[in-house]
Amino acid sequence: MVDFDYSFPPPVPSWTPQEYRPSHHTPGQLLYEEVSNFYTEVARRISDLHHPQEYAKTLQQISQLMRIAHCSSSGGEFLSKEAEEIARQRLSELREELDDGKSHTENIAPEVSSIIFSLTYNNPKALLVSRLTELEYKFCIHRIEEQANLSSQQAEELYSQVEGVRHVLNRAIQEIKPSLVDLKALELARQLHDLPNQENSSDAVKKTIDIWLHTMLH
């Protein structure tokens, strides 16, 4: 049986409140710290529940938010400081509400979804990052569950399929940088929106992104 893991890297805070924080930071850097801490806290709460698998969507949404912050702070530079601060403040408030018992685990998903919407509305690059992360979960991470009932050969074939999709998704992520025109980012985000509902949708995703990348490089 092939053992592979395509989850987003485990969130590890870049620094703690006691450590040095740079006075100048790339938009997304402080939000990534906040989301990382939030992810750790929510994952801990979910692991204590009787049916933690029911909250897989919640962790996926937090990962989408984390990926948006990470891509912006790692060279994308598409988040404004104002948008970052609003999102960071709302996450901090949500953590306090959970600690105080004013909010509960089942309320996290709609709150995080609202934050994602606020960051992606009128921000094509953030929208594209969110869309690509959704597709990574659908065609890579969630497909890991299928290997339990597969033979070794079938598992190898699944591995190859997942690897192919993940590779092209990562190539698209790497193109999200300041030089990327917003219209081009919006174009791909819109094209990818309905693909998961099509037959052979993973192949359609790869083909769509390959064509988009080709137009970017030529």
- pLDDT, tens digit, for every residue of 138-158? 888 887 777 777 788 888 888
pLDDT at 24 > cutoff 90: no
pTM for this entry: 0.85
Greatest C-alpha distance within the chain: 55
> Which two three-digit tokens encode residue 37?
């801490």
- Residue 12 DSSP code: -
- pLDDT, tens digit, for every residue of 40-94? 999 888 888 777 777 888 999 999 999 999 999 999 999 999 999 999 999 999 9
> Which two three-digit tokens encode residue 17?
């409140």
User: Which one is predicted more confidently, 153 or 172?
Assistant: 172
> Which of 172, 60, 72, 173 has its CA nearest to residue 123?
72
- pLDDT, tens digit, for every residue of 52-62? 777 888 999 99
Helix/strand/coil percent split, the chain, to 5: 75, 0, 25
Give the model's pLDDT for residue 84.
96
pLDDT at 10 > cutoff 50: no
Q: What is the pLDDT averaged over residues 5-32?
A: 53
